[in-house]
Amino acid sequence: MINDIKKDAEARMKKSLEALHGNFNKIRTGRAHSSILDSVTVDYYGSQVPLNQVANINTEDARTLSVVPWEQNMVPKIEKAIMTSDLGLNPSTAGNNIRVPMPMLTEETRKGYIKQARAEAEHARVAVRNVRRDANGDIKALLKEKEITEDEQHQGEDAIQKLTDKYIAEIDKALESKEHDLMQV
């Protein structure tokens, strides 16, 4: 029973870490990479679909993305979707090809992005701690129902704490890496 609680807690903590990586991908650095546009959705025949399902997204050079729609009539819709996204990008169209230049980051915008990255990391830490609280509550409920002994309870809580420490350390490592990326000129 404790192993099931531990496996569930680890799966949920892993999802929190994956969500953090997804959120970090939305915070752009000065370099171009296609995952920046992952959050952009386009109106495709009445439904909102991710941009990568209606176009090829490639990195042209270190500072430019190239978006090539699969259908010619999608060019203005894709251009508008990129402009209205909260990414601060300004695409330019040349025929069937949409180029998205990455603006240079100023010191002020870098600090703003670092602040945003730290907030995302703190949200991930809180999520991991909430998973720990839930798992420890489940273990205490098992003790209350006399399905486990107090020794098993302490061992289970120690295992959950080790998992928590492991995922908090991974979150801190990811944050440090993102901060390093943001501060590179």
How many folded domains does the chain comprise? 2
My answer on whether 143 and 112 are in the same domain is yes
**Which of residues 67, 101, 135 is at a domain's end?**
101
The conformational region for residue 146 under phi > 0 = left, psi -120 to 50 = alpha, else beta, is left
* H or E, element range at 135: helix 107-144
**Which of residues 66, 86, 101 is at a domain's end?**
101
My answer on whether 11 and 52 are in the same domain is no
Range of the domain at 72: 34-101
From first to last of the 185 residues of the chain, give the pLDDT tens digit.
888 889 999 999 999 999 888 888 777 666 677 777 777 888 888 888 888 888 888 888 878 888 888 888 888 888 888 888 877 788 888 888 888 888 777 788 788 888 888 999 999 999 999 999 999 999 898 888 888 888 888 999 999 999 999 999 999 999 999 888 887 76
Q: Please, how many CA atoms are within 13 Å of residue 67, restricted to the half-sphere of its CB?
A: 36
My answer on whether 8 and 41 are in the same domain is no
User: For residue 9, what is the domain's CATH number?
Assistant: 1.10.132.20
